[in-house]
Structure 1
């Protein structure tokens, strides 16, 4: 059976013995191979999760288009035995739970925020200390419940401070508690702001 095009799709020749079911099967297999299973359009997350295991394969792609929960819509890839969302979630600005520490952006640096995808939470951004005045931060200061409920870690988790000035300080580091409180580790006079990043499961 001859082939045609960049993807080498088969087609029957006039000299081939007629076999419509067989010819269509060969063409269907060639198309499936060429597009790698394609990107299926699925209406809801429930429909996606109901696809039989016999039809699933590593790297399979699908797009949910009409789920009642808007956050479930978007692109998914089947990997590691599960559907993983490929849609980048929006950043959620952290709470101002203690008026001494306030999430606040500066230039290209966003206010301290979190986002979550497939159970993994990212923390990134800046806080100011005592408004624009600055002030003293005692060792192990409780910054309050800054992490929103749905983004809190299950165990105390260390986070990093991005400014080089903090790397020279002695004392404990910064961490997030399961109750959403951020603990500022080292003692610091005349602190004005800090930029953090971290990652954990939730």
Structure 2
């Protein structure tokens, strides 16, 4: 199985779990769980495939993706109440999903022969768009844009690491491992130690 396909499977399952966890926080019914999990799991990859012309999109020709997403949603529906802190599990699962989805986007885009700029953008899109849709739909503060936290930066740095490793002569698998590792370490740094970027602070206009 190609690296890009394996990464797609992993990111779909993990993102589906995060979508179902957010659905549990919104107290949705079972179909709501499945819908939010589906949107979260395939949103970023679908946008990526449409933009780079990888058609039909990855899940259309492989219905097992839909089955896996639905199964993940059902499992969370019946087990979420056992978690001591669903939000804590959510943010760590989301970090893991991000560190798999970014290399999935990078690998798929590289396989289509696109240049570095497109690879960077598609890595970020694959990793972030599904989670953004999930949070907006369920009226949660988007993890993607949470004030000062490293999230988009993690995705960008991971994609850049993959490009650098490929440029340095490493094969596809080591480059994708490096991409995922950089993404996860930066995101974990935010969650554990509060790593942040400076945020814009408005100042009153000058009086001349």
Structure-1-length-normalised TM-score: 0.22
Looking at secondary structure, tell me which structure has more strand per residue: 1
Q: Using CA pairs under 8 Å that are at least 6 residues apart, name the structure with larger relative contact order, 1 or 2.
A: 2
Q: Which has the larger share of helix? A: 2
